[in-house]
Structure 1
Amino acid sequence: MDNKKMISNGVVYFFSSLFTQSVNLVLIPLYTNNLTQEQYGQFDLIMSVQQLLMLGITLGVFSGMVRFFNEYENRQELRNTALTFSLLWGSICVLIIWLVNPFIYPMLFDSIPGSNLFLPFVIMSSVLVCLNLIYSSYYAMQFQALKSSAVQIATIVTTLLLALYFFLVLDMGIIGILQAQLFSNLAVFIVLFLIHLKSFKLRWKQDQLRKMLSYGTGLMLGDISAWVLSLSDRFLIRGFMNLSSVAVYSIGYKIGMLINPFFINPFTSVFTPFKYKVYNEENGQERIGKMFRLYNFVGWLCVLGLSLFANIGVSLVATEEYRDANYVIPIIALSYFLSGAIAFYSLGLHIANKMRLNSAITVIAALVNILCNMLLIPWMGIYGSALSTVIAYVISNLLFYRFGSKYYPLRLSLWEPYKYLVVFVPIYGIHVVVMQMWPSLLLELLLNGVLCIVFVLVSLFCSFISRDELMNVLQQVILRKVRKLSYKGVQAKS
């Protein structure tokens, strides 16, 4: 894939993530203004449980399809095998939860209206998410960014519309949110299935399925550990503190993780097929190294932006009682940035199919996270929990770098991401001091813009990124936009 196509795909994924997260931001004030802090904390815990259960429902089959996509000529057959398995296994999971739910939901939830449907709705939504991921991954691996993004956009827009109806009009509370998610995923799956109906056939290719499941289940222990890293903190905060603290932490977390849809997800969507395509080429290491430098610069710029605009962000999506979330945001943004760097450091393990080692490293990081949470939450509260995640990702990056280099030496610097701290800390410190002395929205907006420019200039001055590297990306994006506008102008005249 040439640079032009890679950048164009990246732009599509960026604006798709931007739109998707914008809709999610609309949903946050909808929930925080119509649920109590305790209810919102309970809802956040349910969403955390859903992500854990989804690991057992998907069994990583769509990840396996992505991994072996370029190793089979008949890619439709590979997709159909993944779909056939997911339909069968998903049906079994749905049947099991309906059978056992009457015995377990009273133990998990208090007397919340509709709580008897929480788990069935969560499981059914997870099955549909897996099926939709297979379709969107199939598009993504063919560099069809528009189609892949359309799946995500359609899901989130339908969820918003249904949530407005179930949550506001019918006043269904938490169960209304879960019902909106279920129906939106179902609607998108039906559309995708009908579009590909002619090419779909029930397939059970044992060789393909064995490879996909071997790869996917090999990642499961690591995925569970990743869940512990990113979501188990809610349960620890609830245990040491209360549901209101979970709610405040959740708001800070949701804003801090905006670096994921705005930058890391679009970047990964482009980088994943790119790295598997070029890693064995003569200049593959050099090309991946350039991507790493770009990742660090743009990633830290995003961390800084989220940190500077944290106060404004919380004011827009939540009420005054969530104000303490401000200082959680920079720490969460940093932790997500460090988690994204794993895509580089772990490449050697993925190439060598060392999934057990990959999972073992994530398990170690998860255990470190739990230990740090238990030590820091009683001392620092929700900020200690956020800091625990950063510490865990620092250790996981160190281990991925150490073992991944054995199988594919990228010659990347382990300390490359951290050198930006010498720029970030003083700039953020200036922001905090000025805002405490002269709190003003207009001043904050002006100051934030100036500080972001200062970050870019200092990074160039310190040679963290070269002027050519920065200008090359900007020129490619601007050139593409100019061509697109010119094309539209010609069409309008004709």
Structure 2
Amino acid sequence: MSIAKKLASQTAVYGISSIVGRVLSYLLVPIYTARFAAAEYGIVTGLYAYVSFLNVVFTYGMETTFFRFANRAGADRQELYNRVLTLLLLSSAVLTAVLALLARPLMSLLDLPPGQERYAVWIALILGLDAVAAIPFAKLRLENKARKFAAVRMANILLNVGLNIFFIVFCPDVLAGKYLAGLQPLVRSLYDPSVGVGYVFLSNLAASAFTLLLLGRELTSFRFRLNLEPLRPLLKYAYPIMLMGLAGMVNETLDRILLPLWLPEGFYPGKSSLTAVGIYGACYKLSIFMQLVTQAFRYAAEPFFFAQSTDKNSPRTFALVLKWFTLSCAVIFVVVSVNVEDFGRLFLHRAEYREGLGVVPVLLLANLFLGVYWNLSVWFKLTDKTYYGTYIGFGGAVLTIVLNFLLIPLLGYMGSALTTLACYFMMAVVCWRLGEKHFPVPYPVARLATWLAVACGLVALSWYVPVADFWLRHAFHAGLCVVFVGLLYLIEWPRQLAARA
């Protein structure tokens, strides 16, 4: 029991720190959309899409590899730590230098004018520092130091958010004389208005450097060890993990990279492709309401599923979990989608960003199906057939590339949103069909599909039935939400009580 409590406690620490971190980072979105034009925010969206891919390349699966080899019988954990960190130090230095040298070609992919290469250099430094920090973080997890792990992560996020607020809100306001005008000489010495959106990257860079300082104890125990022969089995184990990670990033972020490349010139009159990326990236953030639920579920679900795997009633339990997860997410889908204009005004301060609100219901539904996929994936984890997860992930990556190629020129960023939905829907359906053969679970598929159809119908009703009066419109939207929740309560709750009896 004490081991179970310890595991539950650590899971909560890791999970809460991650979710709270994402919420704090999300609070920057209203600031960015208030202070930056969509074209400027498009730079942030585009570059961080590349960061998602490059993070996988910079660490190339070595974090998971370190865990795997450290838990082998007779493993010398300190020597393994030295070798893995040595490898990452050298590779990060090389990759950072290469990215810095290729700064101009990289920035040309985002159609930025010359002189903005410094953004790519700062991104390269962030990637290098974060890659080096990955193994000390893994060491903390291996040693069950969950609280320090979470504390360092939170310090990184708080510093990043604080510096963003300081440089993007406080300094410009002081120089504009809105408050504390007496601090203007000090602010002028610290703040350069020409950097503009670059302070997003500089804040991140400072937070990444500070993280290494907080990991000083783990780094001072490190000893440089370069011996290629013992590294071969590590690299052999690591490269498939890197490929899986890249496939996952294709499904998650490739649309924001492909959008400026495949969007026809003049598709949005008077707007550049970078502006379109900024609008899409800002609206994508509104799907965080579903992403947070999915992320929290993932932290809690895997330990639960494995704990239940030996119970003879586990298939019934798994079906019940999927049912209530899907219905809960359907409520979020309806509430946010029906009231998306209000959420848009709350989080997207400039009107130009709100032009893309139509993608939000599509992306919410996409993330709902991603959560369904994580539910369904229990079968290949419990049967040790995880290679099926690789196949499904790569299938999703291929579909993402093909559909973006076909739909972006026709539908713009709505094409990217529909591609995301199609990808995650396909992954969920394929995973369910394969699971039927290898690990049958009595999922109420038809019933859940009916509820999702009802949810989509109510959302469509809210979008396509115009109500001009402000109060009547909000009453209508609130009524749609009440109808959906009421139907769920009247129909599903009695069934749940009957099942318990």
TM-score (norm 1): 0.77
Asked whether the 8 Å contact 1:136–1:151 carries over to 2, the reply is no
Structure 1 window deviating more from structure 2 (365-374 vs 15-24): it is: 15-24
The amino acid that maps onto 2:376 is Y
Q: Output the CA distance in 1 between the equivalents of 2:415 and 2:8.
A: 38
Q: Output the CA distance in 2 between the equivalents of 1:460 and 1:211.
A: 55
Q: Output the CA distance in 2 between the equivalents of 1:214 and 1:464.
A: 51
Q: How does 1:419-438 map to 2 (within 5 A)?
A: 419-433=450-464, 436-438=466-468
Asked whether the 8 Å contact 1:398–1:414 carries over to 2, the reply is no
Q: Output the CA distance in 2 between the equivalents of 1:237 and 1:217.
A: 28
Q: Output the CA distance in 2 between the equivalents of 1:373 and 1:426.
A: 26
Asked whether the 8 Å contact 1:339–1:393 carries over to 2, the reply is yes
Query: Measured at CA, do residues 354 and 244 of structure 1 come closer, stay the same or move farther in structure 2, by a change above 3 Å?
Result: same
Query: Measured at CA, do residues 108 and 296 of structure 1 come closer, stay the same or move farther in structure 2, by a change above 3 Å?
Result: same
Asked whether the 8 Å contact 2:96–2:127 carries over to 1, the reply is no
The amino acid that maps onto 1:379 is L
Q: Output the CA distance in 1 between the equivalents of 2:4 and 2:232.
A: 34
Q: Output the CA distance in 2 between the equivalents of 1:392 and 1:307.
A: 20
SS of 1:182's equivalent in the other structure is helix
Instruction: State the number of aligned residues.
Output: 465
Q: Report the alpha carbon displacement of residue 328 of structure 1 after superposing the two structures with TM.
A: 0.7
Q: How does 1:145-294 map to 2 (within 5 A)?
A: 149-168=150-169, 169=171, 170=191, 171=193, 172-194=195-217, 217-238=239-260, 239-241=262-264, 242-260=273-291, 262-294=292-324
Identity of aligned residues (%): 21
The amino acid that maps onto 1:125 is I
Asked whether the 8 Å contact 1:21–1:258 carries over to 2, the reply is no
SS of 1:258's equivalent in the other structure is helix
Counterpart of 1:364 in structure 2 is: 395
Greater Cα radius of gyration, structure 1 or 2? 2
Q: How does 1:123-134 map to 2 (within 5 A)?
A: 123-130=124-131
Counterpart of 1:392 in structure 2 is: 423
The amino acid that maps onto 2:258 is L
| Root mean square deviation, CA, Å | 4.2
Deviations 1:318-364, CA, capped at 9 Å, x for gaps: 20111222211111111112122222333343455545543232222
Q: Output the CA distance in 1 between the equivalents of 2:65 and 2:223.
A: 19
Query: Measured at CA, do residues 378 and 159 of structure 1 come closer, stay the same or move farther in structure 2, by a change above 3 Å?
Result: same
The amino acid that maps onto 1:222 is M
Deviations 1:147-179, CA, capped at 9 Å, x for gaps: 665444322211111223444532322332112
Query: Measured at CA, do residues 391 and 86 of structure 1 come closer, stay the same or move farther in structure 2, by a change above 3 Å?
Result: farther
Q: Report the alpha carbon displacement of residue 38 of structure 1 after superposing the two structures with TM.
A: 1.9
SS of 2:35's equivalent in the other structure is coil
Q: Output the CA distance in 1 between the equivalents of 2:99 and 2:127.
A: 17
In the alignment, does 2:107 pair up with 1:108? yes
Asked whether the 8 Å contact 1:289–1:410 carries over to 2, the reply is yes
Counterpart of 2:183 in structure 1 is: none
Asked whether the 8 Å contact 1:159–1:184 carries over to 2, the reply is yes
The amino acid that maps onto 1:96 is L
The amino acid that maps onto 2:299 is S
Query: Measured at CA, do residues 415 and 124 of structure 1 come closer, stay the same or move farther in structure 2, by a change above 3 Å?
Result: farther
Counterpart of 1:46 in structure 2 is: 47
Q: Output the CA distance in 2 between the equivalents of 1:247 and 1:430.
A: 28
SS of 2:343's equivalent in the other structure is helix
Q: Report the alpha carbon displacement of residue 429 of structure 1 after superposing the two structures with TM.
A: 3.3
Q: Output the CA distance in 1 between the equivalents of 2:72 and 2:97.
A: 38
Q: Report the alpha carbon displacement of residue 296 of structure 1 after superposing the two structures with TM.
A: 1.2
Q: Report the alpha carbon displacement of residue 423 of structure 1 after superposing the two structures with TM.
A: 2.7
Deviations 1:185-226, CA, capped at 9 Å, x for gaps: 2323432443x5798788999999888766653243333232
Q: Report the alpha carbon displacement of residue 464 of structure 1 after superposing the two structures with TM.
A: 8.1
The amino acid that maps onto 1:247 is G
Q: Report the alpha carbon displacement of residue 256 of structure 1 after superposing the two structures with TM.
A: 1.6
